[in-house]
Amino acid sequence: MWPNGKKCAVVLTFDFDAESLFVEGQPIETVTPAKLSQGEYGARVGVPRILPWLKREELPATFFIPGVTAEKYPHLAERIMAQGLEIAHHGYTHAEPFSMTPADEREDLEKGIEALQKLTGKKPLGYRAPSWAPSHQTLPLLDEYGFLYDASLLGDERPYVAAGTKGLIEIPSDWCLDDAPHYFFNFSPRYRTGLSAPSKVMEIWKAEFDGIYADGGCYVLAMHPQISGRSHRLQALDEVVRYIRQHDVWFATMEEVALYWLQTQLSGRGN
């Protein structure tokens, strides 16, 4: 199923939202300074803590970055790039496409492409909708703009061709593999359980890996520097990675998975 006979693909993804998660294109005065700082933590501490860990462990990763965050923190995006990691599209303002008009969604997508292209010198090939809230036109729109893959859906445990597209590869994940539902806490709007002990999250992430590994799937962890960048959570992620390393897996970026899937599975050369 996977390169060199590996039994499972593993992708570490980080949605580097910073303040955009709370602002979402609204006037900045409408957001409390505390919430803004909660996002700022991802830039001040999260990314600078995660990058050396990835380097030390020689791990690939994909960073989904909203355009406004790339423009505000170009030095961090450049560090991510310099480390050979993938940068992909995560909206421009981080507003949810599902809540936008079709015209606004198109404009937001274009501005996000421009912001990343200016920074990296190339068009992003991958996209993840902010808050996993794509609209019904998002995937066909990605097709139209020449994207290779989307990472906004939860429909499988291995890549598939997204419905309504000419061949856009969907690389799905799930809320149980996202750090936000486990750890993220917010008074208003109230955000689910939050503040879980890492022991609980590790139990879920390891057990979920066991199942996806047994079925030869693609294990995608969806994390955030402002959440998983806290030291006790990064330690837990390190332990999960050590557990995964005891297995015959392929650590890859989303782009590598999408290209491999396109070249093998869809051309009939794979299983």
Footprint on this chain of Zn ion (rule: CB under 5 A): 15, 17, 130
Beta carbon of residue 209, minimum distance to Zn ion (angstroms, whole number) = 23
Beta carbon of residue 233, minimum distance to Zn ion (angstroms, whole number) = 17
Beta carbon of residue 153, minimum distance to Zn ion (angstroms, whole number) = 15
Q: CB nearer to Zn ion: give 2 or 184.
A: 184
| Torsion sign (Cα): 191, 68, 86, 141 | positive
Q: CB nearer to Zn ion: give 93 or 253.
A: 93
Beta carbon of residue 216, minimum distance to Zn ion (angstroms, whole number) = 29
Q: CB nearer to Zn ion: give 19 or 157.
A: 19
Q: CB nearer to Zn ion: give 132 or 205.
A: 132
Whether the Cβ atoms of residue 234 and residue 268 lie closer than 8 Å to each other: no
Q: CB nearer to Zn ion: give 105 or 249.
A: 105
Beta carbon of residue 20, minimum distance to Zn ion (angstroms, whole number) = 7
Q: CB nearer to Zn ion: give 10 or 23.
A: 23
Beta carbon of residue 27, minimum distance to Zn ion (angstroms, whole number) = 20
